[in-house]
Amino acid sequence: MIGVVCLNPALDITHHVAAVDWAGVNRPSAVYARPGGKGLNVARTLRAIGAEVLVMGLAGGVTGAGVESALGELGVPAAFTRIRGETRRTFAVVDGRSGDSALFNEPGPRVGVDEFTAFSVMYEKALGGCAAVVLSGSLPLGLAADTYARLIEMGATAGVPAVLDAQGEAMALGAAARPAIVKPNLAELEAWAGRRLSTERGADRAAVAAAARELRAAGAQAVVASLGAQGLLAATEDGGWQAMPPAAVAGNATGAGDAVAAGLAHGLVLGRPWDERLRHAVALGTATAAAPVAGEFSPADYTSVLDAVTVHREEARR
């Protein structure tokens, strides 16, 4: 089983309106509500590729209850610690006439120390049944920046490797706790390194590889940088690797990085060698970027991209 930590889940609500009137009453022609937040995307992708998962998160209020029941309907097992605050919602309003969409993302609840302690007790017990854990997304208000670092250390004590997909201080402190894999995207790696790693033509591979090696030296056992249509670049105990999708796709790339995190965790648990691990991770990312709905993919796309991904060792210094 793969444990997926989701400390700041959301209910993502989308309203489709024929022509938005910002001064009047609008009647959406279609309304969609689905559980969101990066961890839940990871869990859904893992379920879709047949992995056993357990979502571990914090949920509060009617929105938290809604997230829990929606996950149940999707067949995603979850153990939520109840909190006093209300789980956040995100609203997307899509204007059918202009094609524009506006996003409204609530900040989410402030989490109390007692609530995180209750979560930690549950997490520590659940680790006994986990082959790996994935820690994804932003931390809610009230939790210290070293929260992921602490969860990674608890995993290590229980012999459970961690995959970390976070940004800023949560990533920096988490990486120092020696997770098995850290997965920054280009912007996140640039922010950590404090310098540009790209040109007008896209990611500068040599610069990304150097920063990935530095992040590895800072504690991460492996670093897999995701570079959008330019695929993945990894610094691992087995050297540097590049994995490229066959072509850039145009769909909805939101959540493609979460699909990569899912593929990396799955490959870790299966003990796949790095080339195969990266091949699957790229194929899941690209299939997800090709699908019109954020975070979803068609299994047929996954299979066809998988055959066409190119993976090779990086020639530069290890």
Task: Provide the minimum distance between the beta carbon of 283 and ligand ATP in the complex, in angstroms, as a whole number.
Answer: 8
Return the exposure string of 56-83: e unless at least 16 CB atoms fall within 10 Å of the residue's CB, then b. Answer: bbbbbbebbebbbebbeeeebebebbeb
Which region among 22-30, 99-107, 119-127, 284-292 touches ligand ATP (by CB under 6 A)? 284-292
The token pair that represents 1 in the structure block: 């089983």
Which listed residue (258, 275, 301, 307) is catalytic?
258
Decide: is 227 part of the binding site for ligand ATP (CB under 6 A): yes
Decide: is 140 part of the binding site for ligand ATP (CB under 6 A): no
Which region among 121-129, 195-203, 243-251, 262-270 touches ligand ATP (by CB under 6 A)? 243-251
Give the one residue of 256, 265, 269, 311 binding ligand ATP; rule: CB under 6 A.
256
Which region among 9-17, 28-36, 166-174, 254-262 touches ligand ATP (by CB under 6 A)? 254-262
Decide: is 255 part of the binding site for Mg ion (CB under 5 A): no
Residue 76 interacts with, from Mg ion, ligand ATP, none (CB under 5-8 Å by kind): none
Q: Phi/psi of residue 135, each to 5°?
A: -115, 115
What is the layout of strands, in order, in the sheet containing 53-60?
A: 78-83, 53-60, 2-6, 132-136, 162-165, 181-182, 223-226, 232-236, 239-244, 310-313
Decide: is 257 part of the binding site for Mg ion (CB under 5 A): yes
Q: Is 95 known to be catalytic?
A: no
Could you list the residues that contact ligand ATP (CB under 6 A)?
185, 226-229, 231-232, 245, 248-249, 253-258, 260, 282, 285-286, 289
